Structure 1
């Protein structure tokens, strides 16, 4: 069958090449429509509880994405009020940024307190007083300052934050509905961009421009928060996509030119790669898929697969030409011999990547599907593109013999001659490495600090460090609790009691202690208002209405004005905690808060506030979502690895028609990934999104060499060679191709280490290590497992 297909490919190479060209021209305009999915909820499966709560938070409180504009002002607490006036001016500029639906800062609070003091100041016969927030004798002002402490400021700290509520990218935010501040009124809402998240991209960049142009002596302006983290991550993905593709292509061009000294046979693999990329991207568009957080590696990995696969064809073609065959004869022999191994190799690549589709993390699932399609399109490109380009014209027709060809073959032969007599020693070392990897993998932990996805020198990390140090913690999350139609003093008292219990919560894990650094709700504002002589005598309904009129930014964010479909209003408690904490401590704190709220809201005193059993409370927010996202990585790692192992074992069994050979092939290719992960466990290196993909991906890629090795071995046996002679032939011929292909793989993956996005760097580094381990496994371990015993 392979020989018949090979003859057809050579005979009709020009029409087939024309077909490939037409397909590329049709794919080009479609592939340009591929977009980047900016939505955080896209990282979770549809219907996930955290996605549901995410949308509920947006629906009930008019959006939940808050960016913090932070700066330092040595005159912030100056008795003259100059620092507060400067803050008001900066808040005005921030609120006028398109995409910012409202702001909340000390400036708004100061303005409200000045308004409240107005009537009282008329009765004050003691002369002028300090501005409210700067007056230690103003009990009302100090009470409200305490409410916002740890959110917009810290007492005696020179750093101050302006909380910016970002308009949801998929809705139009009217400035008068559920806003945080009337300061947002001057600008009209921007039209929704068809590309999700583009509005936030422009908004965040505009906010940064404002914070880089601060009036003196204000300085150190920055913009931070979970939306900014996600924005910067996607920005890096966009930059990496093109840059990494170019770098990997250049590195591979150098490798191929040095090895084969042929421009034609250097360009052929590159054409294979870009044809595969074009067709893959077009298919993704037609399937309605978008690029995701980890998609920056798409171009680089397709480049690696295409070049590595082409190297096997190139070497076989070169060997046939060296033996005296014409170009058509050499190409026919190449395809007749290697079409089946190449096809099985691309299929195993696809199966390895497709196993990632079993992950819970959305970007990992999408990446698996993209790369599975890309692997199969490499196979199509090998069939459609290579014959025509190899036989077209008469310039630079043949690749040269690779430099060090004889030396590499000699080394491979000596390796085989040394390992076969030492089979028992090799198996003992193999078992020791397996135990090391298995026990080390049990010690693996997950990195839940999303800032660790960025280089330590990046502005976003530096901003988070300021928030952690000066403002009580960068982890911002929320509680949503049902509220009766009419808010009563008893309800406010219950909310206050719950907050007191939440503030007392503390989780201790090993030597780490973690607690909530801020608990804020409308109950705190209401209790603070009781410090005012006139306000404390008003009924609760009047106080809340007064706050709604005076502080729409506060009440709109923390208390829904209208009942939802269930007939309930909702109250929001804003929580803050440390971001720089272990995964276990974060997870335990989130669960402790959830348990506390669940127990509290099932007490009789709470239930008596409602006419009917109220809905359950909900924990929500970016902090919880990102924590859950990375916490699922470790489970995904092993789930994907298991599915990849089973899938690739099935493909190997079909390819070799032998359970024994298929099982033997799995050992040297699974072992490097296990060893790398085990080493990470022993060294205490946390698993991030990049490391979570490495086991399944490396298994799928490194097993390619095993397929070529085993099929060559079986082919020589069928030709009448004795097992040892067949093994030597596979070791020298396939081993040479495996060395060059792995060199190409590593060169491609090394390009990923230049990324600004840490998961991409980790993925590139670990992939390079596992590819090198897979090469050693196929040249050392595989011969031990399949060689004759006598």
Structure 2
């Protein structure tokens, strides 16, 4: 049984069991709505690094669990934070915050003043009078960190670095609640900031932004459909179908546990854009068949039988485009691909089963109403109704002008294959070359809205603390308090500071013990243990975990600003190279990890692997089409325009100065999915017309009229749907939206400018109708 015959049988199922299909659709919608309640937002490291990778294991199980802590910072502002009433209020607040679950320690100027007061007066309490003398007991580097000015003080709330998102949110909420009920002097205010608070606010903003973008995308599509798709009845029904498909995708997302990340939140406007095409193709064809067929049941069979397989092949290409993303090392890019695959499949099934069923039932009611209005004999009334439907498709001035324009463009380009294809391929090759010179955005803070209050508070905190102080962290595993190991840590740290200009300091348990011991490292393990026990617990735990794990922290300043990805990658590689040259003692291991190291690996994977993913997608699509059609020409024709558009896209990003990010790095896969779909649909209709006996140019003309209009309507609708991303407050998304919109323009241009000369030329060459082959034959017969 051929695939077309199989789909015609599906058409019979749609016609005979419409009520059951709609009932199942409603049930699935309710399940999806329940499943969507389980969607969780993820902004942590596990969205960037695979949990099963060695990098993540070192980072999560060594660095986060044993050494890494987070700080929630309370910025205290007052006329004079050293006044007794302010200090007493802060002392009471610190006591309350210490009682909150998961708070390890609370440190502020009050604690140091109380310690200094105990040394001077013997009373460990908040001083009553002038504190200038007491401030002199605090080391300058500490004082500058916790008391930047008389009007500002910082309270550091240390929390575990491996808390879940829910635990962090609960903790931040409890601290905010405590601050709200604190008895502060009238002129005193407290701002809560730090990475945990920033990520919580970021998740909330992501949730709001996703909803707003979906609404905006839908509104834009309503406007476009009202203009370019008005020649069919119920022209907004296509949008309703794709929105139902999106709800199904939300449900599948919650049920399967795929998280909402900065990348995956962008899939839904894109999904609306992709899904609307399936709905439009089915809607356009069923209207065409209803206007042509006397038996409306036959219209269903022909619609599902002809459009179903064509759109299925286009769907397969889209799936393969998204499948290329599954090879990425970055989890949130893989999640983006998974959601894309689930979404397009669900939108396809919704359009074919629910959409066609609804149109068929609406048509039946519409025909009955029109027959009553016409008051003609049944056969005469049906003929008049068919004529009315045929006239409706041609009545629109927009539709007529559009048909003429599409026909003119496709015929003109098809008649000049050498010039059109040469220019298109040349520009594509230039774009591929310049794509390698596109900048990569490495500062993740620039991915989010720059006016986000939590980000502004975070930057204020960093400014008060002397700027960003990023680190590369070296975990040492073994007998870390052995004098030989301590000496290696000390000397290796010193070597890196002296040899690497971008490493400003190296701190470890070895440097702390040397500082405690008058600048000399302990000579025995027992002496090292004694010195370590004398350190404050929170300080010791920051550098030492039991007797088997220690950490060397390399201070590299503001890594994003001073280094950038290339230099940061080089620096990490140099440290690892130096470890090979200056290895730790026997039975001791050292592993480079930490936030900056992990993000260096992630961003490098995002940027260096994008071309490989695109090439893989192209190969997969070509092989899939070759397997489906068993015809090299039909496999090649959809792929060439995609290659051209991929090059154009890279050239656009270079010219516009738009950097690569985790999202724009996925553009290759999207181009493959969308561009391949349009060219396959055009090719399917072209060969359908060729099978009717039309010559290549006649088949192309008929294709541009019958399906070109629907593809352009779909393309413009998709374009407007994607344009909603430009309005996103997230620069990560807005840049992605701009590039996507421009790429959609390129896809439409390639469909109507590159595809026509390509398919006509190859088709004529294969059948011997091309001018070159004709001259060869004439020469042979001469």
Q: TM-score with structure 2 length normalisation?
A: 0.81
Match of 2:18 in 1: 13
Match of 1:786 in 2: 759
**SS in structure 1 opposite 2:157?**
strand
Q: CA deviation at 1:34?
A: 3.2
**SS in structure 1 opposite 2:106?**
strand
Match of 1:101 in 2: 104
1:248 matches 2:236: no
Map residues 135-284 of structure 1 onto 2, 5 A cutoff.
135=136, 141-142=138-139, 145-146=140-141, 148=142, 152=145, 161-167=154-160, 196-204=164-172, 221=191, 223-225=193-195, 227-228=196-197, 230-261=199-230, 265-284=234-253
1:583 matches 2:565: yes
Q: Could you say if the C-alpha distance between residues 348 and 541 of structure 1 is closer, same or farther in structure 2, counting changes exceeding 3 Å?
A: closer
**SS in structure 1 opposite 2:450?**
coil
Match of 1:557 in 2: 542
Q: CA deviation at 1:389?
A: 0.6
- Counterpart of 2:38 (choices 28, 33, 39) is 33
Is the 1:30–1:282 Cα contact (8 Å) retained in structure 2? yes
Map residues 349-428 of structure 1 onto 2, 5 A cutoff.
349-393=318-362, 401=393, 404-428=398-422
Is the 1:440–1:679 Cα contact (8 Å) retained in structure 2? no
- Counterpart of 2:672 (choices 699, 702, 705) is 699
How many equivalent residue pairs? 719
Match of 2:371 in 1: none
Is the 1:641–1:695 Cα contact (8 Å) retained in structure 2? yes
- Counterpart of 1:475 (choices 470, 475, 485) is 470
Rounded Cα–Cα distance in structure 2 between residues aligned with 1:555 and 1:113:
22
Q: Could you say if the C-alpha distance between residues 579 and 206 of structure 1 is closer, same or farther in structure 2, counting changes exceeding 3 Å?
A: farther
**SS in structure 1 opposite 2:592?**
strand
Is the 1:259–1:403 Cα contact (8 Å) retained in structure 2? no
Match of 2:614 in 1: 641
Rounded Cα–Cα distance in structure 1 between residues aligned with 2:574 and 2:190:
36
Q: Could you say if the C-alpha distance between residues 707 and 539 of structure 1 is closer, same or farther in structure 2, counting changes exceeding 3 Å?
A: closer
Superimposed CA distance per residue, residues 664-706 of structure 1 (whole angstroms, 9 cap, x where no aligned partner): 2212223223222233235553211110111111220122111
Is the 1:62–1:557 Cα contact (8 Å) retained in structure 2? yes
Higher helix share: 2
Rounded Cα–Cα distance in structure 2 between residues aligned with 1:648 and 1:660:
13
Q: CA deviation at 1:274?
A: 3.9
Q: Could you say if the C-alpha distance between residues 539 and 787 of structure 1 is closer, same or farther in structure 2, counting changes exceeding 3 Å?
A: closer
RMSD over aligned Cα, in angstroms?
3.8
1:22 matches 2:27: yes
Rounded Cα–Cα distance in structure 1 between residues aligned with 2:550 and 2:205:
37
Is the 1:237–1:294 Cα contact (8 Å) retained in structure 2? no
Is the 1:308–1:745 Cα contact (8 Å) retained in structure 2? yes
**SS in structure 1 opposite 2:416?**
helix
Rounded Cα–Cα distance in structure 2 between residues aligned with 1:503 and 1:102:
30
Q: CA deviation at 1:56?
A: 2.8
Rounded Cα–Cα distance in structure 2 between residues aligned with 1:520 and 1:742:
57
Q: CA deviation at 1:723?
A: 1.0
Is the 2:492–2:582 Cα contact (8 Å) retained in structure 1? yes
Superimposed CA distance per residue, residues 243-264 of structure 1 (whole angstroms, 9 cap, x where no aligned partner): 3222222322332234445997
Rounded Cα–Cα distance in structure 1 between residues aligned with 2:488 and 2:79:
40
Superimposed CA distance per residue, residues 12-50 of structure 1 (whole angstroms, 9 cap, x where no aligned partner): 333333333333344443343333345422432233222
Is the 2:434–2:654 Cα contact (8 Å) retained in structure 1? yes
Match of 1:664 in 2: 637
Match of 2:377 in 1: none
Is the 1:455–1:758 Cα contact (8 Å) retained in structure 2? yes
Match of 1:688 in 2: 661
Rounded Cα–Cα distance in structure 2 between residues aligned with 1:107 and 1:671:
65
- Counterpart of 1:721 (choices 694, 707, 721) is 694
Match of 1:570 in 2: 550
Rounded Cα–Cα distance in structure 1 between residues aligned with 2:605 and 2:188:
42
Match of 1:544 in 2: 532
Rounded Cα–Cα distance in structure 2 between residues aligned with 1:588 and 1:209:
45
Superimposed CA distance per residue, residues 617-650 of structure 1 (whole angstroms, 9 cap, x where no aligned partner): 2232223222322221112312221221112223
Q: CA deviation at 1:465?
A: 3.9
Rounded Cα–Cα distance in structure 2 between residues aligned with 1:597 and 1:265:
69
Is the 1:233–1:293 Cα contact (8 Å) retained in structure 2? no
Q: CA deviation at 1:571?
A: 4.1
**SS in structure 2 opposite 1:33?**
coil
Superimposed CA distance per residue, residues 68-119 of structure 1 (whole angstroms, 9 cap, x where no aligned partner): 444667857x7x8998777656655654555433334555455455556678
Superimposed CA distance per residue, residues 327-382 of structure 1 (whole angstroms, 9 cap, x where no aligned partner): 44433332232121111122221111111101011000111112112211222212
Q: TM-score with structure 1 length normalisation?
A: 0.81
1:339 matches 2:308: yes
Q: Could you say if the C-alpha distance between residues 32 and 209 of structure 1 is closer, same or farther in structure 2, counting changes exceeding 3 Å?
A: closer
Q: Could you say if the C-alpha distance between residues 3 and 239 of structure 1 is closer, same or farther in structure 2, counting changes exceeding 3 Å?
A: same
Q: CA deviation at 1:59?
A: 6.6
Moved more, 320-329 or 248-257: 320-329
Q: Could you say if the C-alpha distance between residues 229 and 440 of structure 1 is closer, same or farther in structure 2, counting changes exceeding 3 Å?
A: farther
Structure 1: segments with no counterpart, 5+ residues: 122-127, 171-195, 508-514, 533-537, 608-612
Q: Could you say if the C-alpha distance between residues 458 and 21 of structure 1 is closer, same or farther in structure 2, counting changes exceeding 3 Å?
A: closer
Q: Could you say if the C-alpha distance between residues 630 and 671 of structure 1 is closer, same or farther in structure 2, counting changes exceeding 3 Å?
A: same
Q: Could you say if the C-alpha distance between residues 569 and 426 of structure 1 is closer, same or farther in structure 2, counting changes exceeding 3 Å?
A: closer
Is the 1:753–1:765 Cα contact (8 Å) retained in structure 2? yes
Structure 2: segments with no counterpart, 5+ residues: 368-388, 520-525, 762-769, 772-782
Is the 2:9–2:301 Cα contact (8 Å) retained in structure 1? no
Rounded Cα–Cα distance in structure 1 between residues aligned with 2:458 and 2:559:
8
Is the 2:478–2:549 Cα contact (8 Å) retained in structure 1? yes
Rounded Cα–Cα distance in structure 2 between residues aligned with 1:680 and 1:242:
28
Rounded Cα–Cα distance in structure 1 between residues aligned with 2:582 and 2:186:
49
Is the 2:22–2:354 Cα contact (8 Å) retained in structure 1? yes
